[in-house]
Amino acid sequence: MAIDWSDNIVIANLADEPALSDELSMICERIESASETDPIPHAVLDFHEVSYVNSSNIAQLLRLRKNLDARGRQLILSGVSDEVMSVLVVTGLNKVFEFSPDLITAIASIQIAEPGSDGA
């Protein structure tokens, strides 16, 4: 389930299917249903419990990245297993997404990059 870490960061602790598709869908819908004036958070997806991704999951990740990028927000995938990373490498998506070894590093990188944040 996605939790709001702060006003500008949402964290989703992901698991294997079917929970993975459900969680990614909920986050995508949250971003897409927001009005232009609604605050949109950065997203950190914790993959440490995900052992595989399928083409549908990849499409959801790309959709989420596109929507966040359009709003000037970051998407960071953290704790990606070797199995999932191998799929992303084969598809060339390792060059599309931003990765972090763990949640703390992902959160810190967003806070440092965010203008006017405590880390700036």
Residue 119 lies in a domain: no
Is residue 116 very low, low, confident or very high in pLDDT (cuts 50, 70, 90)? low
Residue 27 lies in a domain: no
CATH number at residue 89: 3.30.750.24
**Confidence check: pLDDT of 119 > 70:** no
Per-residue model confidence (pLDDT) at position 95:
97
Residue 33 lies in a domain: no
Among 112, 2, 108, 91, which residue's Cα sits nearest to residue 46?
Answer: 2
Residue 32 lies in a domain: no
Per-residue model confidence (pLDDT) at position 56:
96
Residue 70 lies in a domain: yes
Residue 118 lies in a domain: no
**What does the pLDDT look like over 61-73, one tens digit per residue?**
999 999 999 999 9
What range defines the domain where residue 15 resides?
Answer: 2-22+38-113
**What does the pLDDT look like over 66-97, one tens digit per residue?**
999 999 999 999 999 999 999 999 999 999 99
Could you say which DSSP state residue 72 is in? Answer: T
Q: How many separate domains does the chain show?
A: 1
Residue 120 lies in a domain: no
Query: Does 75 or 1 have the greater pLDDT score?
Result: 75
Backbone dihedral region for residue 92 (phi beyond 0: left; psi -120 to 50: alpha; all else: beta): left
Per-residue model confidence (pLDDT) at position 83:
96
CB 103 within 8 A of CB 78: yes
**Confidence check: pLDDT of 118 > 70:** no
Could you say which DSSP state residue 81 is in? Answer: -
Residue 17 lies in a domain: yes
Per-residue model confidence (pLDDT) at position 113:
87
**Confidence check: pLDDT of 117 > 90:** no
